Structure 1
Amino acid sequence: MSARDAVIDRPHPLLLDALTAAGFDATDVRFTPLRSGTDSLPFAATTCDGDELVVKVRRVGSRSRYPTAAWASARMREAGIPAARVLWHSREACVETCCPGRPIEAEPPQPQDLEAAVRAGEVLRRLHTIEVSSFGQLDGHGIGQHSTIQGWFLALPARRTPSLDGLDLPGLLNYTRLILEAEADRLPATAPKLLHGDWVGRHLFTDGRRITGVVDLESVRGGDPLAELAGWSLREPAPMSEALLVGYFDGPLPTESLLPLVLFRLRIAVSLLHFHVSCDDQDMVRLRAAQIQADLDDLDHGHLTAVPRIAPDPHFSGRCRP
């Protein structure tokens, strides 16, 4: 997350109440808006005592995920992962520590960003040692929505998607769902591990040598670690994906992991495409459609790749990034 220039002169009472409930002096606190998310409006907060914090408030109509973030923060920190510490939360707001360093979001990536991506892969491998009891999005007790990997994998809501000029989205998505349903039984029968759920560079902080912070924990879920690698590769430039894989694996990607990785990529790309449609972001919709088509073609010809053939342009940042 990166701060804007403006400091709020008259902060919303909910921000002040959250800080007070967390045990901080809310007098003369400086609030600076940060990049907003799908469910939260986050603010950097500096207290009169010099405490550097992040305060989040729930968007109207969105689900409250702060109990989940608090549970995940504790589990990650127990495993030695530098996750933001959730100091207080309710259904409406959350107060957490501010992670040092800067987010990994240079476009195009610089050598230091590639090195940070390697370190991110090492941290991610540690995260994926944490076992959970079920699959899917987790609640505040770490319980997921699905008992099987297939139930989680195929839990894509049926949504009507309009076609774009020269692009038959309904046909593409219907065919992709058929492929996912046909191939779901080929997923490995692995026990669910804790996944961040939105593992991208902007949610990881670095001081140039190591990962200093992992933020935005509201989307954690139980699942197959390959899904986390697939999600990163769809949203980061190819060199960043290659660097993450170097840090995550001791050697090359295991051969038996390649098909599940591509299947997870397809599944996540479909979900992202629906999200971009909801934002009316046609450029990102076309990117996701191209990624889906490329993986479908590769599946058909048996030429699977660990990194997508079509990756985001490092010079382009979509208007609507989940």
Structure 2
Amino acid sequence: MSEEVEVVVAHHDCATLRVGEVFLKIDADQTRTDVEVEAMTLAPIPTPRILWHSPPVLALAALPGTPLGRLGEPSGASAAAWVAAGATMRKLHDAPLPPWPGASLDERAAELDRECAWLIANNVLPAELVTRNRELAEAALRPWTPMFVHGDLQVAHVFVDGDQITGVVDWSEAGRGDALYDLAILTLGHPEHLDDVVAGYGRDVDLDVIRAWWSQRSLTAIRWLAEHGFDPFSPGCEVDVLRAQL
């Protein structure tokens, strides 16, 4: 019996298909794929096994387990699994820096300016909601010590089996960056697990900065999500995160 082809995600930038226990990532941007391959090679934490790479396709072995959670849905994972996710991120952040840069402070600030202006000019969100969250987001835009970061650590990108982390996927945004950005993206929409992640991380962190990254990420993601077929207005997603911040 032949394997069925499952479309995991597909949008203007790239697509991911699953055929049995193999994931096929198709991306016309070779730079993103090169970063993903090298990041998975360098990262001292579990990642998918690279089966083969023939641009524009990257074939990866499926990870055991299930995602730690999904934005907009309650997480079915245990508190211990969230603690383990924090410990895994600490191991990544303590690793030697990758040789390529990540998004800079100036780039993050410019992105925030641009997206807030667009949200207000197009009446996507009430100006007061945008303005207040932008004020909160400013706390994240401060100098940071660069660390090896995943860069897009959505909760669905972390796989668990019981209380153990089996791997982290989607490394195309990896580089040098703010460690608290990773922790913020992991807990976006799941603030009830922030204490678990921090406990596993095992290092004092500024919770106000993590919450500031929640505002920054949500404000800057809305346009991209809408233009690529996702709904940031879905319950528990980016717009609800902005509202909860107030």
- TM-score with structure 1 length normalisation? 0.62
Of 166, 169, 178, the residue aligned with 1:212 is 166
The CA distance in 1 between the partners of 2:237 and 2:163, in whole Å, is 32
Partner of 2:33: 66
Q: Alpha-carbon deviation of 1:41? A: 2.1
Of 102, 109, 125, the residue aligned with 2:75 is 109
2:238 is equivalent to residue 288 of structure 1 = yes
Residues 120 and 145 of structure 1: CA distance in aligned 2, closer, same or farther (over 3 Å): closer
Of 57, 60, 68, the residue aligned with 2:26 is 57
Partner of 1:155: 110
Residues 131-170 of structure 1 correspond to what in structure 2 (within 5 A)?
131-132=96-97, 142-144=100-102, 146=104, 150-156=105-111, 158-159=114-115, 160-161=118-119, 162-164=122-124, 167-169=125-127
Residues 31 and 194 of structure 1: CA distance in aligned 2, closer, same or farther (over 3 Å): farther
Q: Which has the higher strand share?
A: 2
Gaps of 5+ in 2: none
- How many residue pairs match? The answer is 236
Of 174, 189, 193, the residue aligned with 1:240 is 193
Offset from partner CA, 1:176-228 (integer Å, 9 cap, x none): 556656x577x2x4331121122233212222131112111122232111111
The CA distance in 2 between the partners of 1:290 and 1:143, in whole Å, is 32
Q: Which has the higher helix share?
A: 2
Q: 2:8 aligns to what SS in structure 1?
A: coil
> Which residue identity is paired with 1:103?
P
Residues 179-218 of structure 1 correspond to what in structure 2 (within 5 A)?
187=142, 189-218=143-172
Task: From the CA coordinates, give the structure whose radius of gyration is larger.
Answer: 1
Partner of 1:33: 6
Gaps of 5+ in 1: 1-6, 8-28, 47-51, 134-140, 298-322
2:219 is equivalent to residue 270 of structure 1 = yes
2:19 is equivalent to residue 45 of structure 1 = yes
Bigger relative contact order (CA 8 A; separation at least 6): 2
The CA distance in 1 between the partners of 2:88 and 2:159, in whole Å, is 12
Q: Alpha-carbon deviation of 1:88? A: 2.9
Q: 1:99 aligns to what SS in structure 2?
A: coil
Q: Are the counterparts in 1 of residues 133 and 215 from structure 2 also a CA contact under 8 Å?
A: yes
- TM-score with structure 2 length normalisation? 0.78
Q: Are the counterparts in 1 of residues 84 and 164 from structure 2 also a CA contact under 8 Å?
A: yes
Partner of 1:249: 202
> Which residue identity is paired with 1:36?
V
Q: 1:56 aligns to what SS in structure 2?
A: strand
Taking only aligned residues, the RMSD between alpha carbons, in angstroms, comes to 3.2
> Which residue identity is paired with 1:86?
I
The CA distance in 2 between the partners of 1:241 and 1:87, in whole Å, is 34
The CA distance in 2 between the partners of 1:227 and 1:94, in whole Å, is 26
Partner of 1:95: 59
The CA distance in 1 between the partners of 2:173 and 2:63, in whole Å, is 18
Partner of 1:16: none
